[in-house]
A and B are shown apart, each in its own frame.
Chain A
Amino acid sequence: MAVRVHLSSNLRGPTGGIAEVEADGSTVGALIDDLDRRYPGLGDALRAGVSVVIDGLLIAHPEYEPVADGAQVYFVPQTAGG
């Protein structure tokens, strides 16, 4: 299942600066596994304090979050607050 994955600019080191990549997976965790195969090292970056935005919803702990075919997934740094 092909999904467009967007990486915030601080996460693009393993992709050589590419902002938008394609990945396969029915969950965010599966996407990360696939991305790590395509861009070694990206998996570690995406598992360390990263949230996703899917269809406008900010999801802080997305590993098992389902991803629909054709979805746009944005990986962003995890936020905190006071």
Chain B
Amino acid sequence: MTVTEPKPSYKYVGTRPVRHDGLEKVTGRARFAADLNMSGQLHGIVVRSPHAHARIVSIDTSEAEAMPGVKAVITGDDFPAVEPGHRQYDMCINVIARDKVFYEGHALAAVAASTRDQAQAAAAAVKVEYEVLPAVLTIDQALAADAPVLHAHMMTAGANPPAEEPSNISNITRFSGGELDAGFAEADLVIEREFTTQPVHQGYIEPHACVADTGQDGHTTIWCSSQGHFNVRSSTATLLGWENTRIRVIPAEIGGGFGGKTTIYLEPLAVALSAKAGRPVKMVMTRDEVFRATGPAPGTKLRIKLGVKRDGTLVAGDAYLIYTNGAYAGPGGLLGAMTVFESYKIPNFEIEALDVVINTARSAAYRAPAAPLTAYAMETMLDEIAEELGIDPIDFRIQNAVTEGDPSTMGFPFARIGFVECLEAVRDHPNYKAPLGPNQGRGIAAGYWFNIGESSSATVNLNEDGTATVVTGSPDIGGSRASMALMAAEELGIDVYDIRPVVGDTEAVGFTDVTEGSRATFATGMAVVEACRRMVVELRGRAAKMMGVEVDDIDWVDGQAVYTGSDGDKAPLSVAEITAKAKRTGGPLTATGSLEAHGAGPGFAVHVCDLEVDPETGVVRVVRYTASQDAGTAIHPSYVEGQIQGGVAQGVGWALNEEYIYDSDGVMENPSFLDYRVPVASDLPMIDAIIVEVPNPAHPYGVRGVGETGIVPPIPAVANAIYGATGCRIRDLPMSPIRVLDAITSNGGSNGA
């Protein structure tokens, strides 16, 4: 760990207790959504489109409804109509199609039956008549002058002049600063490169699953795994046209989300089926469904031009970015535009980013959405420039890195950030100078992510024996229970193992936004701290009553109420002594914290990848990997390291193997983990994680979110390392064996230009 600034001495924060939910998870006792079963439950199966683009002429469910065991069949007609302009129009028509299907796998009906086999048979018996439409499957097809338009209402937002005809461009974002032409005129070296990337999936191990039980009173309970059960409640209510109060969502454990479970797919269908059948309905996606119908991260075409002076000063940058967001509008281009130049001081720049719709599944967030792809382009180009100028790649980045006070792409000055510290931490690590073997190369790359705050709530309940329960509304997707317990332990002075961190359902804790933007330990942690500080105020008051003194004469010191007045000595009172007499001093001890968290501190990371390329097969093997990241303050260092290592693993997979492959009709050809290759443990070495701590001044313990930034640098780090090993610059993802081999053989190992 690299600590850059003096910080308070903490008793619990920064320690590594065994996570409170660890034993349940390693012994298999933890209940994930698919583990839940209810008496009398039915099994729901979704009917999905075999076509990438088609008009639904008719749906005949009569045969399916008459089949054995079938209790309910629903279609889009069972949900309130939605029109363009509805605030969640895309989500609504994605969960269940209405008049058109927009991708292969698009849900258009669902069946509930007594057994899964019966439901599958009935789903196959639903007769759908389609008018098949030409499918738009690539960015080039979407932008062609004669391209079929997916959405007749889609007028390009941000177009100048305003769009007068619908198109497949949902949004155009432009940022600029300085004088671009003057900047390039100042440059001694100008390079321009183009890149392409393919959609990839988040690859969470647990498929989407839920159980819904709708009662005769019109209220429903949903058990599901998600990154935010309050979001499940509100989105489900929107789709059904219900009030939120009719829906209770109980979070199950989550087997990975990475952004892909910030939206919903099954829950409204399960509720509607349950309401129709009068029985609980369980729905579990297959892996095939997960791939075809959920969450790919966008594919892209990127073109970037950079200008630099001979002394290594970046002076100009021009970026043209196109992101596909699947079949609906999405933020890929916007986020790409906001990240592409964000890490470096580039005084003259222009960025134009397009968001384009095509006939593939609706994109969902994936750790630091859009940023890994702009980093791929930017960081490989910086590598080229550093080599051309004969400057060490880390020194080159330090020379141009943003620091406190430098303007961001959006204009505001950065607050305290730790980019340079991350660069220095990697430069000073022994791995950076470790010798390389034959056919091995080393690649450096950096990454940036904003992080966000949003709303969180926490409740702290002190038990009669002096232990505590901390209830929050953030699902534990990466060890946040332990983080919450550690911060509560620090505040209250209670041993971390005497605190039980609990994820409360939508009726057990205050509203909490979906876990995205690396916000749980930052924002929900702030809510926990706020609740604990209120609890300490209450504890001091109760202790004052017990001692018969003024509350102002009571301090809270290391878990005890300590008398500081002048009326003689009084023995300190522990939490347990105070809670034991709670009935006589005012009743149960409960405190809450609810807030909108401001000041999420940006995260930076710097990675060094060492890999070996088999020159005969093109197979790449990562042999050493070193990753630094600014965590602000690491509440639980092991889980910070875990987030860094997980980001690296996913990023390496994205770099080397992962891609959606479609046939000419838009049918996905690799919807299984056999054909869609994610890294497994044996593919990777131990990843050396270096935690840099540049505290975020907006958080009581200095926390910055750590969940996303770690996936940003791996793609360019791998690409730069492949260049180091082979002399080939590969600018198309994935850098699969065949593509690496092709680069080596086609270019004689010297495709550096």
Contact = CB atoms under 8 A, between A and B. Distances in A.
Q: Is the interface of A mostly helix, strand, loop or mixed?
A: mixed
Q: Which of A10, A19, A56, A82: most chain B Cβ within 10 A?
A: A82
B175 A58 contact: no
B708 A82 contact: yes
Interface stretch (B411-419, B468-476, B737-745): B411-419
A82 B259 contact: yes
Interface of B: 158, 160, 173-177, 202, 258-260, 262, 331, 334-335, 338, 365-369, 408-413, 415, 449-454, 516-519, 596, 598-600, 697-698, 707-708
A35 interface: no
Nearest to B173: A10
A23 to B, nearest CB: 16
A58 B452 CA distance: 8
8 contacts: A9-B175, A10-B173, A58-B450, A60-B452, A61-B596, A80-B516, A81-B449, A81-B519
A49 to B, nearest CB: 9
A22 to B, nearest CB: 16
Interface string A48-66: 0000010011111100000
Interface in A1-33: 6-10, 13, 19
A59 to B, nearest CB: 5
Contact of B411 (A6, A79, A81): A6
Contacts of B449: 81
Given A74-B412, A76-B410, A81 B451 contact: yes
A9 B450 contact: no
Contacts of A74: 410-412
Given A9-B177, A56-B413, A56-B415, A79 B599 contact: no
Nearest to B596: A61
A60 B369 CA distance: 18
A43 interface: no
Contacts of A56: 413, 415, 599, 697-698
Interface of A: 6-10, 13, 19, 53, 56-61, 74, 76-77, 79-82
A80 B175 contact: no
A13 B158 CA distance: 10
B264 to A, nearest CB: 15
B708 A81 contact: yes
A60 B454 contact: yes
Nearest to A19: B411
A11 to B, nearest CB: 9
B173 A80 contact: no
A66 to B, nearest CB: 12
Nearest to B176: A9
Contact of A58 (B174, B516, B600, B708): B600
The 7 closest A-B pairs by CB, nearest first: A82-B259, A81-B517, A56-B415, A82-B365, A74-B412, A8-B410, A53-B412
Given A9-B175, A10-B173, A74-B412, A79 B453 contact: no
A60 to B, nearest CB: 6
A38 to B, nearest CB: 19
Contact of B365 (A10, A53, A60, A81): A81
A10 B415 CA distance: 22
A59 B173 contact: no
Contact of A60 (B334, B453, B698): B453
Contacts of A61: 596
A7 B262 CA distance: 30
B654 to A, nearest CB: 13
Contact of B598 (A6, A8, A59, A81): A59
